Structure formats: C-alpha cells, structure tokens
A = this chain, B = another copy of it.
Amino acid sequence: MPLPIKISEETFTPRQQAVLTAALDLLVENGDGLTMTAVARRASCSKETLYKWFGDRDGLLTATVQWQAAKVRMPHVDRSHLSAKVLRESLEQFARDLLTTIIGEVSITLNRTAITHAAQEKDSLGNIVLENGPMAIRRRLKPILEAARDARLLRFNSSEDAYRIFFGLVVRDVQIRLLLGDKSLTQSNVEANIEVDVKAATDQFLALHGAKANT
C-alpha cells in the first residue's frame, strides 16, 4: 500500500501519529534499531496493529519519514513588496531555517535513514526527503529570486544555478559532516554560529548576484 507523496493533514489518526512519534523517537535514539517489536512496545500497541496500519516495516518507515518531513515549514515571503532590505531579510530567513533544520537531530536521522534506504535500490524514502528538503526549498526560493531579478535587485542567468549557489553557501560541509558523525561539529557548536553563518552566506550570495555585482 504505497502512501501518497503528498501528506495533507489528517492522513493519520492521532493514535497513529502517536505510533509514528514513537517510531521516530526510536529512530533518533537508536539509529536504525527500529524493530517492529520495539515500536510496538514503545507505542504500547500490538505488532498486529502495526502491520494492519502500515503494511510492513517499510511502510511504517515510510509513513514516519513522510509524516515528519512534511512538518518542515518554509518561510513565506511576500513577493509583491520586494526591496533590497526585504530581499536580504528573506534570504537570511531561508538560510536560518535551512541551517536550523539540517543540524537538528530529526533531520540528521531522517536523512541518514533515507540514505541507508537508498543504498538498497529503494528510493522512496530518499525521494520523500528530497521532496521535503532541498526541493521544497528550491520551490520556495526560486520564485523569490526571480521576482528579485525582475525588480533589478539580483542578477543571474539561471535561477536554478542561483538557488544551488545559495544552498552551497549556506550548507557547505556542515550537513555531510554531521551525517558522517563528525564529533568536532557538535550541534551546540554549530548552533552558536548560526547567525554569523546566515549573515555571511547572505552577504556572499548578494556579493555574487546582487545588482551591483560585476559578475
């Protein structure tokens, strides 16, 4: 029973959401130690119920990832009143949300799980994470970039390229290092520098693509 790519709102009953929460907690705690027995015990439900609701282990995993991934909220920017100031603030907000998200335990766990899954010819989890992560940001950011270009606040040829540059400037090596378990990048460590990094990335992006840029 393949779940839909898009989760609207009440795809799951409260009880089911409690189960998914338990599953996610286990995932965050134990890495992939997500066994059906453990979830059942944690959620105080029977394995039979799990199988009835989610089909099999993969279904439970998919539902969990999907449900959590959909929780990521993007900032909403008013495109009609774009000024240099508003643009900068919007970019900073995007950078801040992006950084805050990727350094979170939940995001790390979800990405790890999806990557593990992708290592087995199964791309469903990867697609969900992609769709709710990078692609969601892209969908939100590109219109803003294009509006800013129309307003002569930015210069670039391809909004796709511009988005990817922004992504790179914000994320850099932070995500891959966290995914690989780099001990020298503690969450608090990165967290403390978020504002600095956000500002730096925005400055750099504007230096490259701002109206006054010579590129």
Partner-B contacts on A (CB < 8 A):
30-33, 109, 111-116, 118-121, 123, 126-127, 129-130, 134, 161, 164-165, 167-173, 175-177, 179-183, 200, 203-204, 207-208, 213-215
Residues on B with C-beta less than 8 A from A161 are 200
* Secondary structure type dominating chain A contacts: helix
Among A33, A109, A113, A165, the most chain B Cβ lie within 10 Å of the Cβ of A165
Residue of chain B at shortest CB distance from A209: B204
Residues on B with C-beta less than 8 A from A123 are 181, 183
Closest A-B pairs by Cβ, 5 of them: A118-B181, A31-B119, A168-B172, A168-B168, A126-B180
Among A109, A170, A171, A173, the most chain B Cβ lie within 10 Å of the Cβ of A173
Residue of chain B at shortest CB distance from A179: B115
Knowing that A112-B116, A113-B119, A114-B180 touch, tell me 4 more A-B residue pairs with CB under 8 angstroms.
A115-B115, A165-B169, A171-B176, A207-B215
Residue of chain B at shortest CB distance from A123: B181
Whole-angstrom distance between the alpha carbons of A116 and B169 in the complex?
A: 26
Q: Show 20 residue pairs from A and B whose CB-CB distance is below 8 angstroms, ordered by the A residue.
A: A31-B121, A32-B120, A33-B120, A109-B119, A111-B180, A112-B115, A114-B180, A115-B115, A118-B180, A126-B181, A126-B182, A129-B180, A130-B180, A134-B173, A134-B176, A161-B200, A165-B169, A167-B172, A207-B213, A207-B214
Residues on B with C-beta less than 8 A from A171 are 168, 173, 176
Distance to closest chain B CB from A197 (angstroms): 9
Whole-angstrom distance between the alpha carbons of A195 and B40 in the complex?
A: 52
Residue of chain B at shortest CB distance from A129: B180
Residue of chain B at shortest CB distance from A213: B207
Residues on B with C-beta less than 8 A from A114 are 180
Residue of chain B at shortest CB distance from A120: B31
Residues on B with C-beta less than 8 A from A120 are 30-33
Query: Are A179 and B31 in contact, with the CB atoms below 8 A?
Result: no
Residues on B with C-beta less than 8 A from A30 are 120
